[in-house]
């Protein structure tokens, strides 16, 4: 039998170096794109490596022992990350999220958090500094992360059933260790903690109710994420998507829910609370109910490529500008021009054209850009 081959677009080396505009400008604390969406959030991937091989992100048939991860010299240094983050904060970014790969695999990440926590917005506030993790290393690092200045964590957890969870992470990692990490993070004060469950039909959708029951009445906010067509490596198919409306319907049938308002404009999750006061859940409907219209997020890859959409087909090489000696003012002007030119709304267009969803678009991989 022929070996299964999944095409992966290697976007690590296919990025344009932005040109410097002839007229430089100072950051004003606000910049908006072509759809009037302000730049408010920055997601930074600090490593392309992960110790899990989740089927929807880094499937083992692609990311095997022969896969060539980025060399250390290609990664942005902590000083470079902090420099770029400072430029984005000057343009209005008030929230910075560290992602990966698995960000806790990056050596001395506490030092980076300490450096980023010293940044200040134009009005003198500290940015909201958060981190997304698979939880595998969280128990041993939670207190150090908090001490360094991290505000909150989001933990990925796709099942409470050990067999299902191990089948999804594909490295035989037990649920109990992730739950231990969540408890450690809570004790360290890294909250409110959000738990993200990617729901893939036929694999873990039977875990929707058990997950809801387990976290109901806890200090944690459980969020259900529709299985997305990020990149090409996960072999995404529309019939494996469990719509958020179905998730809500299943939970509401046994634990009545009431819809509640968003915390802020641009929040990705629809919010629901238990009618009996047992807390809330969120649903992220990136396939069936696009939220492009309010998206305020920019993404920086681990080697310094700026992406203006999670589903982008190309990035902008800011590392090249830094390492060629460009000034902060020059790079800041580039960032402003790139954001003003942004018109991305991939999910919105996809939702309007469901029949064409499974065409093999050459999009950036989630494992490279971060979720």
Residue boundaries of the structural domains of the chain: 11-350+360-369
For Cα atoms 342, 116, 156, give the angle at the middle one, nearest 5 degrees: 75
Task: Count other C-beta atoms under 10 Å from residue 39's C-beta.
Answer: 24
> Could you write out the DSSP letters of every residue in 196-210?
EEEEBTTTTGGGHHH
Distance CA 307, CA 330 (A): 18
| Order of strands across the sheet that contains 257-260 | 257-260, 270-274, 280-284, 221-226, 194-199, 152-156, 128-133, 95-99, 41-45, 297-300, 305-307, 316-317
| Measured distance CA(162)–CA(232) in Å, rounded | 27
Contact at 8 Å (CB) between 21 and 28?
no
Task: Give me the pLDDT at residue 366, please.
Answer: 57
Q: Give the HSE-up count for residue 317: Cα atoms under 13 Å, Cβ half-sphere.
A: 14
pLDDT of residue 3: 39
CA distances for 204 relative to 188, 254, 288, angstroms: 30, 18, 19
Retrieve residue 75's tokens: 């990664």
The CATH architecture annotation of domain 11-350+360-369 reads: Alpha-Beta Barrel (3.20)
Q: What is the pLDDT along the chain (371 residues), one digit of tens a residue?
A: 333 333 344 455 457 899 999 999 999 999 999 999 999 999 999 999 999 999 888 989 889 999 999 999 999 999 999 999 999 999 999 999 999 999 999 999 999 999 999 999 999 999 999 999 999 999 999 999 999 999 999 999 999 999 999 999 999 999 999 999 999 999 999 999 999 999 999 999 999 999 999 999 999 999 999 987 655 545 567 878 999 999 999 999 999 999 999 887 777 889 999 999 999 999 998 888 766 888 999 999 999 999 998 777 789 999 999 999 999 999 999 999 999 999 877 665 655 444 444 444 455 655 566 65
């Amino acid at each position: 039998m022929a070996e299964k081959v999944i095409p992966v677009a290697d976007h690590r080396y296919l990025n344009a170096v932005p040109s410097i505009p002839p007229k430089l400008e100072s950051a004003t604390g606000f910049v908006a794109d072509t759809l009037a969406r302000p730049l408010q959030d920055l997601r930074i991937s600090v490593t392309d490596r992960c110790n899990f091989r989740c089927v929807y992100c880094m499937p083992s048939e692609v990311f095997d022992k022969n896969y060539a991860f980025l060399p250390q010299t290609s990664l942005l240094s902590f000083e470079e990350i902090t420099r770029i983050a400072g430029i984005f904060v000057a343009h209005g970014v008030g929230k910075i999220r560290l992602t990966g790969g698995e960000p806790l695999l990056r050596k001395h990440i506490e030092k980076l958090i300490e450096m980023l926590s010293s940044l200040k917005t134009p009005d003198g506030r500290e940015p909201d500094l958060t981190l997304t993790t698979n939880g595998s290393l969280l128990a041993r690092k939670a207190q150090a992360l908090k001490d360094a200045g991290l505000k909150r964590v989001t933990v990925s957890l796709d099942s409470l059933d050990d067999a299902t969870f191990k089948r999804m992470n594909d490295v035989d990692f037990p649920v109990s260790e992730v739950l231990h990490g969540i408890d450690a993070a809570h004790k360290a004060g890294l909250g409110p903690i959000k738990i993200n469950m990617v729901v893939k039909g036929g694999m873990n959708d039977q875990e929707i109710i058990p997950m809801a029951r387990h976290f109901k009445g806890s200090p944690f906010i459980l969020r259900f994420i529709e299985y997305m067509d990020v990149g090409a490596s996960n072999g995404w198919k529309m019939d494996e998507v469990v719509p958020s409306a179905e998730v809500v319907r299943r939970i509401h049938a046994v634990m009545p829910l009431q819809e509640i308002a968003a915390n802020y404009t641009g929040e990705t999750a629809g919010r629901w609370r238990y009618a009996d006061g047992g807390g809330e859940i969120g649903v992220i409907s990136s396939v069936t109910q696009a939220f492009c219209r309010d998206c305020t997020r920019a993404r920086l890859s681990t080697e310094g490529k700026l992406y203006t959409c999670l589903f982008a087909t190309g990035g902008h090489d800011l590392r090249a500008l830094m390492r060629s000696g460009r000034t902060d003012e020059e790079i800041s002007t580039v960032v402003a021009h790139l954001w003003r030119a942004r018109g991305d709304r991939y999910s919105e267009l996809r939702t309007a054209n469901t029949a064409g969803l499974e065409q093999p678009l050459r999009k950036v991989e989630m494992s490279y850009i971060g979720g």
